[in-house]
Amino acid sequence: MKGFFITIEGLDGAGKTTQIKFLKEYIERRGYDVVVTREPGGTPISEKIRNIILDKENSEMCPKAEALLYAASRAQHTTEVIHPAIKAGKVVICDRFVDSSLVYQGAGRSLGLEAIKNINDFATNHIEPNLTIFFDISPEITVERIRESKEIDRLEQEEIAFHYSVYNEYKNLANKYSNRIKVVNANNSIDNIKNDIEIVINKLLEA
């Protein structure tokens, strides 16, 4: 069987986690072995890097250090988990990947898309998802959801303007790479979102 690499993108609070669970079950029913993983994280070393990045005590972390830590975590994750799984014919579903760095560090932290793309190409050996699903929902809604639901981490505590620049860059990427990035309306009901994702996945698996 041919391996596939699927990434899930969107703002914090967009509802990715619930849908990833459904998606895993759906693809397994189609007869595939599925690996679900996440960034930053996905391996013991990458999870340690994740803790450094998201620790609220690290308020002095400069944007370049942040970007390089995400890329370091991703290098380990790609080598140890993602690449071997795809090679073994599995379907990898990854909660966030390089697009997150492009929008959060490239746009949100104003480091520029080119620099972020370069360090990530180096980190991942240019691996590209076969499909990326972008959960489209306005920052006003997600920020409210996050504040109500849990203790917030270092990136989530950013101002609404930061989340808007992240959101707008996601929309730009979705336009620019419309073959790879499919947009689902994450403001819909859970059932509708699930259906929309299944339609996109069917196209990928049948192509």
Binders in 43-102 for ligand TYD, by CB under 6 A: 54, 70, 96, 100-101
Nearest residue (CB) to ligand TYD, 90 versus 109: 109
Would you call 91 exposed, middle or buried from its count of C-beta atoms within 10 A (0-12, 13-18, 19+)?
buried
Query: Which amino acid, 4?
Result: F
Binding to ligand TYD by residue 5, rule CB under 6 A?
no
Nearest residue (CB) to ligand TYD, 32 versus 40: 40
Backbone dihedral region of 147: left (phi > 0), alpha (psi from -120 to 50 degrees) or beta?
alpha
Cα gap 143→135, rounded to integer Å: 14
Task: Give the shortest CB-91-to-ligand TYD separation in angstroms.
Answer: 20
- Tokens of residue 152, six digits: 């917030």
Given candidates 39, 136, 169, 196, which one binds ligand TYD under the rule CB under 6 A? 39
Binders in 93-132 for ligand TYD, by CB under 6 A: 96, 100-101, 104-105
Nearest residue (CB) to ligand TYD, 121 versus 153: 153
DSSP string, 143-174: HHHHHHHS---TTTTS-HHHHHHHHHHHHHHH
Given candidates 45, 113, 141, 155, which one binds ligand TYD under the rule CB under 6 A? 155
Question: In terms of Cα–Cα distance, which of 56, 23, 52 is closest to 190?
Answer: 23
Task: Give the shortest CB-71-to-ligand TYD separation in angstroms.
Answer: 8
What are the residues binding ligand TYD (CB under 6 A)?
Answer: 12, 38-40, 54, 70, 96, 100-101, 104-105, 153, 155-156
